[in-house]
């Protein structure tokens, strides 16, 4: 399940020895790279990374430079960051797909999210939302589940490909409800949304950021946000937790990762800086404006969260049979 917002990190003075504090005081004396394993300008991941980098620039003596390294569903950039020098000047902007889904889908990965990285901070989450074509009939999650059970194989739900967030969210719903729906993978969200509006497919477990335009225009029916708390962007849409399905939570969460061996004092310092951004009204507003539900918290909680999510994604992928060889 998606964990509740973690507690903020402890003050540095309480957790960093004096020698390490001296090392941290000298950091950074040159630009810091944030490796983003997707194309520049390609969706929420890149947008939020750049917003966070801009906010960190205000708090650091050196710039945070976003470095895009796309390829293989994020594996190329993640592997590059894993092999980078662990000196506190290279970090990975990782997310659910790269860090939790890919280990479940690929037989061989060029990196290991646990062995090769230390979590810095869990930044936030963009939840999935179940939306349906207006002509389908159901107006609530309960009605949709009843319809799906009464009409096995007749509902087609679209996604951005096998193993994507939209696919696994739909698979989790199928597993929890025992319903039979047909998965239709697309090359991207735009053609899937087009087919949803024309009733070629009947449902999508879209990201809330992607579904907002159609929901606000009344073009689709939003049934439930797959999260524990409502979205500020769509406050009238109930959550699955409210509707009696607290285990049906899924989203694309984002986490800053450090190459294994990066000094702990530097990791603690960056954790504190990111938490400051999340707590700052202006920084909070900018990140939330990109569709992010902000979490923050300690590096230890980020590590615990990652371990749980790796297991959960593996279970969903295994039950669905999704693989990428």
CB 70 within 8 A of CB 37: yes
Q: 105 with 188, same domain?
A: no
The last residue of one of the domains, among 209, 225, 241, is 225
Measured between alpha carbons, how far is 203 from 155 in angstroms, rounded to an integer? 7
- Residue 154, domain CATH: 3.40.190.10
pLDDT of residue 284: 94
Measured between alpha carbons, how far is 315 from 305 in angstroms, rounded to an integer? 16
Q: How far is CA 76 from CA 84, 257, 324, in A?
A: 13, 15, 15
Q: 161 with 218, same domain?
A: yes
Packing angle, helices 165-177 and 141-150, rounded to 10: 70
Q: 16 with 122, same domain?
A: yes
Mean pLDDT of the chain: 92
- Single pTM value for the model: 0.88
Q: 138 with 119, same domain?
A: no
Q: How far is CA 233 from CA 126, 223, 304, in A?
A: 11, 15, 28
294: in domain: yes
233: in domain: no
Q: 112 with 35, same domain?
A: yes
pLDDT of residue 21: 57
- The 10s digit of each residue's pLDDT in 14-41 is 455 555 555 566 899 999 999 999 999 8
Task: Please give the residue range of the domain that contains residue 267.
Answer: 12-126+251-320
CB within 8 A of 43, min separation 6: which ones? none
Q: 188 with 272, same domain?
A: no
Residue carrying structure tokens 């963009």: 126
If pLDDT is split at 50, 70 and 90, which confidence band does 9 have? very low
Strand partners, 259: 117
If pLDDT is split at 50, 70 and 90, which confidence band does 85 have? very high
pLDDT of residue 324: 79
b/e 16-53 (16+ beta carbons within 10 angstroms → b) = beeebeebbeebbeeebbbbbbbeeeebbbbbbbbbbb
Measured between alpha carbons, how far is 74 from 112 in angstroms, rounded to an integer? 13
pLDDT of residue 41: 84
State how many domains the chain has: 2
């Amino acid at each position: 399940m998606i964990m509740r917002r973690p507690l903020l990190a402890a003050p540095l003075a309480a957790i960093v020895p004096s020698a390490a504090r001296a090392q941290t005081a000298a950091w950074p004396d040159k630009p810091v790279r944030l490796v983003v394993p997707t194309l520049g300008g390609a969706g929420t991941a890149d947008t939020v990374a750049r917003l966070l980098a801009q906010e960190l620039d205000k708090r650091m003596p050196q710039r945070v430079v976003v470095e895009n390294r796309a390829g293989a569903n994020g594996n190329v950039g993640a592997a590059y960051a894993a092999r980078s020098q662990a000196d506190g000047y290279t970090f990975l902007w990782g997310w659910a797909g790269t860090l939790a889904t890919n280990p479940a889908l690929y037989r061989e990965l060029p990196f290991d999210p646990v062995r090769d990285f230390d979590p810095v901070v869990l930044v936030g989450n963009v939840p999935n939302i179940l939306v349906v074509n207006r002509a389908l009939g159901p107006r609530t999650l309960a009605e949709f589940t009843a319809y799906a059970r009464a009409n096995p194989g007749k509902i087609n739900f679209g996604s951005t490909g096998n193993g994507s967030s939209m696919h696994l969210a739909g698979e989790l719903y199928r597993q929890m409800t025992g319903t039979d729906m047909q998965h239709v993978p697309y090359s991207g969200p735009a053609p899937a949304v087009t087919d949803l509006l024309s009733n070629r497919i009947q449902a999508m477990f879209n990201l809330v950021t992607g579904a907002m335009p159609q929901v606000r225009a009344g073009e689709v029916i939003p049934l439930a946000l797959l999260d524990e708390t409502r979205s500020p962007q769509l406050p009238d849409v109930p959550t699955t937790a409210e509707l009696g399905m607290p285990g049906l939570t899924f989203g694309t969460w984002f986490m800053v990762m450090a190459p294994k061996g990066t000094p702990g004092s530097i990791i603690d310092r960056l954790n504190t800086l990111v938490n400051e951004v999340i707590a700052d009204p202006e920084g909070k507003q900018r990140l939330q404006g990109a569709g992010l539900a902000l979490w923050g918290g300690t590096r230890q909680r980020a590590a615990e969260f990652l371990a749980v999510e790796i297991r959960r994604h593996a279970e969903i992928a295994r039950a669905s049979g999704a693989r990428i060889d």
